[in-house]
Amino acid sequence: MLVPRAVMRGLRCINPDGISDKDIVTDITNATDGRAYLEKHLLLVPSNFPTTTKQMAAALFQVAAISGIGHPVVNMIMALAYILEDMEKDDIKEGFQETMDVKLQETVGIVKEMTRVVAKKVDERVKALVMRVDKMGQKMQDAVEKILVKMGTQ
């Protein structure tokens, strides 16, 4: 099967003689065919497992080790493999960052709720203390008045 012209659009020719889409013949026309081919040649794990960029990079490293491949092609394959490995690291960093953002938001929510609860309890305690102080002040005032009454009568 020929690679569709739309796929070739934007690709640069690396052969000095020139390559057209009519020069590239392949049995692989989509991701499903590609995965089946790689599984058949033991370059990917079975299809019931998701493919990761790390697995794709490992497959490219294996392809680069195949004898008979020209040095420029090996370099291109290795470059793609290393780029995929970096993408995996970036994906892990992004996933970690997203997880941390979610956890931070959850923690902020918990702290806000705890602050609200603590503020309410502190407010209740302060009101209770103010009432006690008011009662004590009233008792002291009553006691002072009694003392003054007694002093005035004696």
Contact indicator for 27, 33 with CB cutoff of 8 Å: yes
Query: Considering the domain boundaries, does residue 85 fall inside one?
Result: no
- Other beta carbons less than 10 A from residue 19's beta carbon: 14
pTM of the model: 0.44
Highest mean pLDDT among 11-20, 52-61, 81-90, 123-132: 123-132
Query: Considering the domain boundaries, does residue 99 fall inside one?
Result: no
Contact indicator for 63, 74 with CB cutoff of 8 Å: no
Summarize pLDDT for 31-40 with one digit per residue, the tens: 787 778 878 8
Query: Considering the domain boundaries, does residue 30 fall inside one?
Result: yes
Query: Considering the domain boundaries, does residue 28 fall inside one?
Result: yes
Domain tally, the chain: 1
Domain with 5, as residue range(s), is 1-49
Query: Considering the domain boundaries, does residue 17 fall inside one?
Result: yes
User: pLDDT value at position 4?
Assistant: 43
Query: Considering the domain boundaries, does residue 89 fall inside one?
Result: no
Query: Considering the domain boundaries, does residue 122 fall inside one?
Result: no
Query: Considering the domain boundaries, does residue 40 fall inside one?
Result: yes
Q: Is 38 exposed, middle or buried (0-12, 13-18, 19+ CB in 10 A)?
A: buried
Summarize pLDDT for 117-138 with one digit per residue, the tens: 999 999 999 999 999 999 999 9
